Amino acid sequence: MTKAVPARTTRVVTVGGVLRREEMDLVINPLDFKALQAADYAKRYNGGKLIAVSMGPDFKVKPLLSELYSHPIEGVDEAIVLSDRRMAGADTWATAYTLSLGVKKALDLNRGAVEEVLELVESGASGEKVLERARELYHANLLPNLVYTEKPGLPEGVVQRYAKGRATVEEVREALLKVRTELERFLIVAGLKTSDGETGSTGPQTAEALSDALGRKIPDITHVVDFEVDAESGTLVAVRKTGSYLQRLRSPLPCVITIMPDYRAGVTPVLRRKRAALYSYRGKVREVRVWNADDIGADPSKIGLAGSPTIVGPGIDIGGPPVQKFVGRTRVFTQRVEAFEFNGKTYGPFERFAKADDLPEELVRELEAKGLVKRFDLRDLLEEVFGGVLVAAKH
Amino acid sequence: MSSSQQSIEVRIEGYRDVWVYCEHEDGKLTRPTTEVIAGARKVADKVGMDVVGVLIGYNLGDLVREPIYYGADKVIYCDDPRLKDYQVLPYTTVLSDMVMQLKPWALLFVTSEIGKDLGPRVAYRTRTGLAADVIDLVVEDFVMNLPTGRYVYKDCIAQVRPDFATRIAKIFTPKHRPQISSVRPGNFTPLPRDESRRGEIVRWEPRFDEDDFQVEVLETVRVPKSEVKLEEAKVVISLGLGVLRDASGRPRNPREAYELAKQLADLIREKFGVETEIGASRALIYAELKELEGLITKDRQVGQTGKTIAPDVYIALGISGALQHRVGMQRSKKIIAVNVDPNAPIFQIAHYGYVGDLYEFLPKAIEILRSM
């Protein structure tokens, strides 16, 4: 799961507390790259496919997800963006709900492909016919190399052997059922939090939402520092931080994890490479899929602003840019100066170290000549900071 | 008069009390938990409700009284061998069941690894809102102007949280109950522990689903406590990649920068009697410089992926001030930035700027402070 976040927080556009993502420069949330790295590691270890799922205005998010295909490290195979006007203004509840339905649809799509071939074989279709459909599905990235492949260096897929009479119906069925079982053993990886909302809630809430969508409880493990996942046995072993302790947990798949920023992906053992290759897909579907609320069967009352229990009240500025003084540049008063008149206007009173830069230049020169204003120096800085704040702290 | 100017008062009835999910370690409430009890007290008193401490675990013993000693009126606890270690599924089940049956008005968590896991799941399951990383809680009406009228949701909690660089936002959960927040440590002062306080203590019998125990805890290991106390220091002096070169571009020994920063920190501690600490930017820590091995360690990292601190004085030495760093220190009361690049983003939020290198700044500052 990945999110497009504002590139610069100094140029955030909100209307009534709702981020107008469509009006801002967006980037992939920085911590999501850790999630992609972790997901990529899981894929290198087990095979399978890496799908990037995001929610946001498609014309903004699509280009960002497309870039992931050419990213040097992460082996993203497919990208899905859930985009719909009705999804705008979602809080974490509505986001989790939406994402869970996107995940479910992706799962259904993949499972559907496997089941279609299974039915074809079991209905006694000719080897040629099964082969043809398998080829199509392989090119749509929906069947792994184990079933059908055109990759050099890999053994022929079981359907290809079946078409040549070198594999039995039983062998085909066994392979397809295995693929289907492993599809159900998926792992969802999210970054620890996003740089815009910064809540870190969407990961665990997606697990909860997915529990609803799939009708069984899906665990989550947050703050994961390290993990190993094995599709063969369908288990995940993860190390997570809780308070002053590290917990090592074993969870069945599917599971949702959020990755700590200091996670570093390990090296894939050579022994796993063959398995990983067999269970991998053709990969790199260049086109980003866009699904709207109807595509994923979302209840309109549970998405976007309408489905969000929280409402962001008006933002309140706290301070904005501080009064700034630069050593050697800013001009400040050298002592307290009572209110005075200059060219018919009243100025002051001024405290020691008050900034004089905003006064008329002519006046500043005059004050400088009298020794009442000077350039702020390092001694002034230290005196102002440590003379005031900390002497008080000492007593 | 158009109907849109009519005020419609909305009160969500049937929900009472402010609950605090109490985290405990080694038989004690954690300090942030006692802070959140104080925060709960503040809002509960405002609306005339009780503060209820919720404890989940195994062999809780006398711990069940602690929330009351720290200011709660009542405790609900669930004690079961299957709840010995924190695990998200059974804990979510227990807490969600409590919430759905007993209908609290608000439920507060600590912003911690547990609060940020359990809080979101309970909020989702009970179909209500969650405000994360809250720094203050204020009771106020929430007004929503709709074409059908001006709706006034009476007595909501404005859940105050930082919003981007220089703003705060108030998050409201007007229509759903409980109002759930996770409260950041360091924002409320715990009430003094008072063993004479009395209150009702109620035991909760859990009902689990079979699939609540899918996850197995294989091992629990204590993380060695860090000696670095960045959060408690009044003055933090942080180093960034600026340690590598001086203003003329000449490579310098980063060890020298560390020693100078340490000298300054020690001098301030002696002279003003305040705690000081050395921090670092992520870039410097991840550079893993040989010269700084064992000195600039991960527990000194300030920023989004490190610690968030708000000391009285923060001195950023050779730190350009990427957003990820700024979010970890921008609430410091006085920020002094030292950088050779006058356009470094750190200067945007600094109260004091020194355009120059740290190798020039540090010896001068040490000399001046000595003479002060």
Which of A1, A253, A390 to mutate: most B Cβ within 10 Å?
Answer: A390
Least CB-CB distance to B218: which of A244, A249, A308?
Answer: A249
Contact A353, A323 (CB under 8 A): no
Same domain, residue pair B184 and B94: yes
pLDDT at B307: 84
Identify whether B311 is preceded by a cis peptide bond (ω within 30 of 0): no
Helices then strands (H, E): number in chain A?
11, 19
Chain A segment 132-191 residues within 8 A of B by beta carbon are none
Residue A390 has pLDDT above 80, yes or no: no
pLDDT level of residue A31 (50, 70, 90 thresholds) = confident
Domain of B99 in residue numbering reads as 13-136+167-213
Local confidence band at B161 (pLDDT 50, 70, 90 cut-offs):
confident
ipTM of the complex: 0.82
> Per the structure block, which two tokens stand in for B360?
């020039």
B302 interfaces chain A, CB cutoff of 8 Å: no
Q: Is residue A19 predicted with pLDDT exceeding 60? A: no
Contact A219 B89 (CB under 8 A): yes
pLDDT digits (tens, 9 = 90+) for A154-185: 999 999 999 999 999 999 999 999 999 999 99
Give the pLDDT of residue A395: 40
DSSP letters, B250-265, are -B--HHHHHHHHHHHH
Region at A72 (left for phi over 0; alpha for psi -120 to 50; beta for the rest): alpha
Tell me what pLDDT residue A321 has: 59
Q: What is the DSSP letter of A155?
A: P
Q: Does A92 lie at the interface with B, CB-CB under 8 angstroms?
A: yes
More confident residue, A317 or B225: B225
Distance CA A277, CA A313 (A): 51
Cα distance between residue B370 and residue B8, in whole Å? 65
Position with higher pLDDT, A67 vs B40:
B40
> Which residue blocks in chain B are alpha helix, DSSP H?
31-47, 66-69, 88-102, 115-125, 254-272, 282-287, 323-326, 346-349, 358-371
Alpha helices, H only, chain A: 32-46, 58-69, 92-122, 127-139, 158-163, 169-184, 202-214, 270-278, 361-369, 378-384, 391-394
What are A329-372's pLDDT values in tens digits?
999 999 999 999 999 999 989 999 999 998 999 999 999 999 99
Average pLDDT, stretch B72-91?
97
User: What pLDDT is recorded for position A341?
Assistant: 92
Q: Tokens representing A78?
A: 């497919």
Whether A63 has its CB under 8 Å from any CB of chain B: the answer is: no
Kindly tell me if the per-residue pLDDT of B76 is higher than 90: yes
- Residue A239: closest CA among B212, B74, B218, B87: B218
Mean pLDDT of A124-131: 93
Backbone CA torsion sign across A165, A169, A170, A172: positive
Q: What is the pLDDT of residue A7?
A: 67
CB-based contact B252:B360 (threshold 8 Å):
no
Q: Is the pLDDT of residue A20 over 90?
A: no
Mean pLDDT (chain B, rounded): 92
By Cβ distance, the residue of B124, B312, B348 closest to A321 is B348
User: Beta-carbon neighbour count of residue A250 at 10 Å?
Assistant: 14
Statement: residue B61 has pLDDT above 80: yes
Q: What is the mean pLDDT of chain A?
A: 89
Strand-pair partners of A259? A191, A224
Residue B292 lies in a domain: yes
Write down the pLDDT at residue A10: 43
- Chain A residues whose beta carbon lies within 8 Å of the beta carbon of residue B276: none
- Are residues B204 and B347 located together in one domain of the fold? no
- In this structure, the answer to whether residues B55 and B83 fall within a common structural domain is yes
> What pLDDT was estimated at residue A74?
61
Q: Which chain B residue lies closest to A392 (C-alpha atoms)? A: B272
Please report, for chain A, the start and end positions of each structural domain, with discontinuous segments joined by +.
4-302, 331-394
Q: Which two tokens stand for residue B292?
A: 């700084």
- Residue B257, pLDDT > 90, answer yes
Q: Is residue B219, in this structure, part of any structural domain at all?
A: no
Hey, which residues does B7 pair with through a beta bridge? B150
Please report, rounded to a whole number, the percentage of residues in chain B having pLDDT higher than 70.
Answer: 97
- Range with the poorest average pLDDT among A12-26, B154-168, B205-219, B262-276: A12-26
* pLDDT exceeds 50 at position A12: no
For B111-140, how does the pLDDT look when each residue is reduced to its tens digit (9 = 90+)? 999 999 999 999 999 999 999 989 899 999
Name the DSSP letter for residue B50: -
Q: Residue B104: give its domain's CATH number.
A: 3.40.50.620
Q: What is the CATH number of the domain that holds B342?
A: 3.40.50.1220
Which residues in chain A have their CB less than 8 angstroms from residue B216's CB? 249-251
Mutate to test the interface with A, among B12, B85, B109, B116 (most CBs of A within 10 A): B116
For residue A317, what is the nearest residue in chain B, using CA coordinates? B167
User: What is the mean predicted confidence (pLDDT) over A197-218?
Assistant: 93
Residue A369 confidence (pLDDT): 95
Q: Binning pLDDT at 50, 70 and 90, where does residue A68 land?
A: confident
CA dihedral A278, A279, A282, A284 (to 10 degrees): -130
pLDDT in tens, A241-292: 888 889 999 999 999 999 998 898 888 888 888 999 999 999 877 789 999 9
The verdict on residue B146 lying in a domain is: no
Count of CA atoms in the C-beta half-sphere (13 A) of A154: 23
Q: CA of B269 to nearest chain A CA: how many angstroms apart?
A: 10
Is cis: bond before A254, omega within 30 of 0?
A: yes
Of B155, B178, B213, the residue that ends a domain is B213
Buried b (16+ CB within 10 A) or exposed e, B122-147: bbbbbebbbbbbbbbbebeebebeee
Buried b (16+ CB within 10 A) or exposed e, A297-314: ebeeebbbbebbbbbbbe
**Domains identified in chain B, total number:** 2
Same domain, B205 and B337: no
Q: What percent of chain B has pLDDT over 90?
A: 75
Residue with tokens 């609900």: B76
Q: Which two tokens stand for residue B71?
A: 């200011």
Residue B220 counted as domain residue: no
Residue contact A247–B86, C-beta within 8 A: yes
Instruction: Give the number of C-alpha atoms closer than 13 A to the C-alpha of residue B210, restricted to the C-beta side.
Output: 1
Contact B274, A390 (CB under 8 A): yes
- What is A272-304 written as a DSSP string? HHHHHHHTB-S----SPEEE-TTTTT--GGGST
Length of chain B: 372
* pLDDT at res. A8: 54
For residue A241, the chain B residue with the least C-alpha distance is B113
A17: pLDDT strictly greater than 80: no
User: What average pLDDT does this structure show over B70-77?
Assistant: 98
Q: What does the pLDDT look like over A138-150, one tens digit per residue?
A: 999 999 999 999 9
What are the backbone dihedrals phi and psi of residue B219, each rounded to the nearest 5 degrees, phi first? -165, 145
| pLDDT for res A29 | 84
Same domain, B200 and B296: no
B219: buried, middle or exposed (CB in 10 Å: 19+, 13-18, 0-12)? exposed
For residue A22, name the pLDDT band (cuts at 50, 70, 90): low
Residues B200 and B250 in one domain: no
Confidence of residue A13 (pLDDT cuts 50, 70, 90): very low
Determine, for residues B121 and A385 on separate chains, whether the beta-carbon distance falls below 8 Å: no
- For residue A80, give the nearest of A251, A364, A288 by alpha carbon: A288
- Looking at the structure, tell me whether residues B236 and B302 fall in a common domain: yes
Angle at B120 between CA B114 and CA B124, to 5 degrees: 145
Give the one of A31, A241, A250 whose C-beta lies nearest to B113's C-beta.
A241
pLDDT, position B332:
86
Predicted pLDDT at A193: 84
Asked if the model's pLDDT at residue A70 lies above 80, the reply is no
User: ∠ CA A58-A60-A66 to the nearest 5 degrees?
Assistant: 80
Q: What residue in A sits closest to B276 (Cα-Cα)?
A: A390
Whether residue B91 sits in one domain with residue B22: yes
Residue A319 contacts B where some CB pair is shorter than 8 Å: yes
CA distance linking residue A232 with residue A1, whole number of Å: 23
- Cα R_g (chain A), whole angstroms: 30
Orientation angle between helical segments A92-122 and A127-139, nearest 10 degrees: 160
Q: For residue A209, give the nearest of B124, B209, B356 by CB distance.
A: B124
Backbone angles phi, psi at A249, to 5 degrees: -120, 150
Q: Quick one: pLDDT at residue A73?
A: 57
Q: Write out residues 251-270 of A within 8 Å (CB-CB) of B.
A: 251-252, 261-262
CATH T-level assignment (fold) for domain A4-302? Rossmann fold (3.40.50)
Calculate how close chain A gets to B108, using CA atoms only, in Å.
Answer: 15
| C-alpha dist (Å) from residue A294 to A55, A90, A178, A215, B243 | 14, 16, 31, 20, 55
More confident residue, A312 or B59: B59
Nearest Cβ partner for B133 among A91, A199, A209? A199
The reply to whether A32 touches chain B by the CB within 8 Å rule is no
The 10s digit of each residue's pLDDT in B304-343 is 778 888 888 999 999 999 888 887 888 788 999 999 999 9
* Residue B247 shares a structural domain with residue B194: no
Asked whether A390 and B313 are in contact (CB, 8 A), the reply is yes
Residues B65 and B193 in one domain: yes
Pair (B17, B94) in one structural domain? yes
pLDDT in tens, A227-243: 999 999 999 999 998 88
Contacts A199 to B, Cβ<8 Å: 120, 130, 132-133
* A320 has a pLDDT exceeding 80: no
Spatial distance between the Cα atoms of A287 and A80, rounded to a whole number of angstroms? 9
Domain assignment present for B149: no
Rounded Cα distance, A226 and B151, in Å: 49
Helix or strand run (H / E) with residue B18: strand B18-21
A216 touches chain B (CB under 8 A): yes
User: Quick one: pLDDT at residue B5?
Assistant: 64
Is pLDDT of A217 > 80?
A: yes
Both tokens of B116, joined, read 């940020």
For residues B52 and B183, state if they share a domain.
yes
